[in-house]
Structure 1
Amino acid sequence: MSPDEYCQQKAVQSGSSFYYSFLFLPVERRRAITALYAFCREVDDTVDEATDPGVARIKLAWWRQEIGAMFAGNPSHPVTKALQPHLTIYSLDSKHLLAIVDGMEMDLDQTRYLDFPGLRRYCWHVASVVGILSASIFGATRPETLQYAEKLGLAFQLTNIIRDVGEDARKGRIYLPVNELQQFGVTAADLLNARHSEKFEQLMRFQYDRAQTAYDEAFAMLPTEDRRAQRPGLIMAAIYRALLKEIEQDGFHVLERKISLTPIRKLWLAWKTYVRG
């Protein structure tokens, strides 16, 4: 199996919405973004699948070394072998890739966030940086495009947090800021025990409004001349906003189940967004 085939398999097996945004890209850009996505999945799995935090830290340290080896032209992992040819072409830098690894390590160090500024820092590492790298691969000619991508990454991660509240709580992680839980009278035990209430719905409505604002602010930053190139990100946004709306229409019942869109609906949203340009 070639490095590119390995990354493709990783992307398909994940079942992620991101895969649908890759389908309409030219071949070389699709290879680059698939390799980047596979890199993110590999690093994320290092933390999610580890039962021993010490082992996870050792593996993350290995990934930091592997990023250095990749930029030195000597990668050893299939993912870094696939990503290495695209580094110079799309101006991908090591500091952003290392920032992603740092974000995954934050999940080992911290399971609660006191306020939104703290959560936003986490979101920058695990999502906004990915947005910046992705926008570079799609084709960014203006600095405002990278600002758009950074904000869009935040919107995606806020959507993930809303969707995964119950699942994350059962894993011992609560990303909703502590001061906001207190503001709405919701406890960590409520989340862990899936106690849906009017207070919880009010809390989630607050999170929903913040995520929608992040999408609106991101779109306002995207320069017209880069809009066509950035269609993969816009496809992702269409899928994620549809998911967010689905969660809201379901009454924010995210503690006891994980709400998702069907593959055919994702494909339809992807096609519709692509055609609209």
Structure 2
Amino acid sequence: MTGMRLGQGLGGRELDAAGITDPALRAGYLRCRALSAEHGRSYHLAGLLLPPAKRPYVHALYGFARYVDDLVDDVSPTLTPQQRAQRLNDWIEEFRADLDWGTTSDPISRAVIDTIDRWSIPTGYFSDFVDAMRSDLTVTSYATYADLERYMWGSAAVIGLQMLPILGRADDGVRWDVLEMHAVQLGIAFQLTNFLRDVGEDLRRGRVYLPQESLNRFGVDRDRLARGRVDESIRNLFAWEIERARSLYAASAPGIELVHPTSRDCLYTASTLYSGILAEIERADYDVLGRRVRVGNVRRAMVGINGARHALAARAGRTTPTG
């Protein structure tokens, strides 16, 4: 506990490298880092490949997103749905007021507001994110992929856009709008991967994120998914959506070379590990209704070690083959 208070250990060294010295601010960043390490294994590993001075800000963005998502998904029996909605709405309104004031007593919001100020991140991205999270309290399905895309703008695309100022451009010749396009594609690819991995878990929360038009295409309905038995129609549905996600990973790939060289291995590792979940779903014969598939520890370690080797070379001004 003392180490966490004083900001010792790797997290403390990252804060030192970033020049973050205020004790209360350090505590907020460390809280976000802990959320990242606990809940975002692939993202956290990828974030560790960034230069130490940039890591706290990425942890803050992930920690904020995770904290709000947990508020939405809290199914504690001590809370009624109305109380849960009221708690989320109160927190969102307080956060928006804190954004306007530029200060807060909330440790997670404190780290995020500092990140926004240091990197001049548009605050509209955060408003769009919390609006998407709030919609999860009332919206339980999406008729078309276009409808789902509008949700994913706030739940995923804006997170990629929040990251861009921290990742940086390869050089001044890189067009910002092109970089933004690829960031949106990658963010949505990550989100679609989450939806496929978590179909069973989301269903138990009363939500189906796969578009109804896709379900209709393969003769699948919510009751069929709820039975938990993966049949040929469900396999075809998942295969269709996996190809959609893979096309987005492919479209986003050129954007990795457009960010600063010291940021590329973070994105490459995150994309490799997350897209690997799609292969794991296929390996499980699409049986994700009753369990969560994940990339194995050996594969995760191999990708992480390879990324670390490239990242260290990039920081030293050298280049190594990607792969």
TM bucket, shorter chain: over 0.9
TM-score by length of 2: 0.80
Task: Identify which of 279, 284, 289 aligns with 1:250.
Answer: 284
Partner of 2:166: 137
1:112/1:173 contact within 8 Å kept: yes
1:236/1:270 contact within 8 Å kept: no
1:161 maps to 2:195? yes
1:186/1:200 contact within 8 Å kept: yes
Task: Identify which of 236, 244, 251 aligns with 1:217.
Answer: 251
User: Counterpart of 1:209 in structure 2: which amino acid?
Assistant: E
Partner of 2:11: none
Partner of 1:123: 152
Q: Which moved more, 1:58-67 or 1:166-175?
A: 58-67
Q: Distance in 2 between matches of 1:4 and 1:228?
A: 22
Partner of 1:21: 46
Matched residue pairs, number? Answer: 277
1:145/1:226 contact within 8 Å kept: no
How big is each residue's C-alpha offset from its partner over 1:213-272, in whole Å with a ceiling of 9 and x where there is no partner? 011111134554645434322211010111111111222111121101234432321332
1:238/1:270 contact within 8 Å kept: no
Unmatched segments (≥5 aa) in structure 2:
6-26, 311-320
User: Counterpart of 1:176 in structure 2: which amino acid?
Assistant: L
Q: Post-superposition shift, 1:64?
A: 3.5
Task: Identify which of 289, 295, 299 aligns with 1:261.
Answer: 295
What is the root-mean-square deviation of aligned Cα atoms in Å? 1.9
2:277/2:294 contact within 8 Å kept: yes
User: Counterpart of 1:16 in structure 2: which amino acid?
Assistant: R
Q: Distance in 2 between matches of 1:239 and 1:172?
A: 28
Q: Post-superposition shift, 1:121?
A: 1.1
How big is each residue's C-alpha offset from its partner over 1:8-66, in whole Å with a ceiling of 9 and x where there is no partner? 22222225321111112222311111111111111111110044333333333322332
Partner of 2:129: 100
2:179/2:258 contact within 8 Å kept: no
- CA 1:5/1:158 → structure 2, altered by over 3 Å: closer, same or farther? same
Query: Counterpart of 2:141 in 1: which secondary structure?
Result: coil
- CA 1:45/1:253 → structure 2, altered by over 3 Å: closer, same or farther? same
How big is each residue's C-alpha offset from its partner over 1:90-133, in whole Å with a ceiling of 9 and x where there is no partner? 22121101111011111112101101001111111111111111
Q: Post-superposition shift, 1:71?
A: 4.6
TM-score by length of 1: 0.92
- CA 1:272/1:43 → structure 2, altered by over 3 Å: closer, same or farther? same
1:191/1:255 contact within 8 Å kept: yes
Partner of 2:223: 189
Q: Distance in 2 between matches of 1:225 and 1:114?
A: 35
Partner of 2:20: none
- CA 1:224/1:66 → structure 2, altered by over 3 Å: closer, same or farther? closer
1:236 maps to 2:270? yes
1:161/1:175 contact within 8 Å kept: yes
Q: Distance in 2 between matches of 1:135 and 1:230?
A: 12
Q: Post-superposition shift, 1:164?
A: 0.8
User: Counterpart of 1:72 in structure 2: which amino acid?
Assistant: W
1:91 maps to 2:120? yes
1:59 maps to 2:93? no
- CA 1:6/1:221 → structure 2, altered by over 3 Å: closer, same or farther? closer
Q: Percent of aligned positions with the same letter in both sequences?
A: 30
1:119/1:175 contact within 8 Å kept: yes
Q: Post-superposition shift, 1:85?
A: 2.4
User: Counterpart of 1:96 in structure 2: which amino acid?
Assistant: Y
Query: Counterpart of 2:136 in 1: which secondary structure?
Result: helix
Unmatched segments (≥5 aa) in structure 1:
none
Q: Distance in 1 between matches of 2:246 and 2:261?
A: 20
How big is each residue's C-alpha offset from its partner over 1:131-155, in whole Å with a ceiling of 9 and x where there is no partner? 1112222224631212111110000
1:20/1:267 contact within 8 Å kept: no
User: Counterpart of 1:12 in structure 2: which amino acid?
Assistant: A
- CA 1:233/1:59 → structure 2, altered by over 3 Å: closer, same or farther? farther
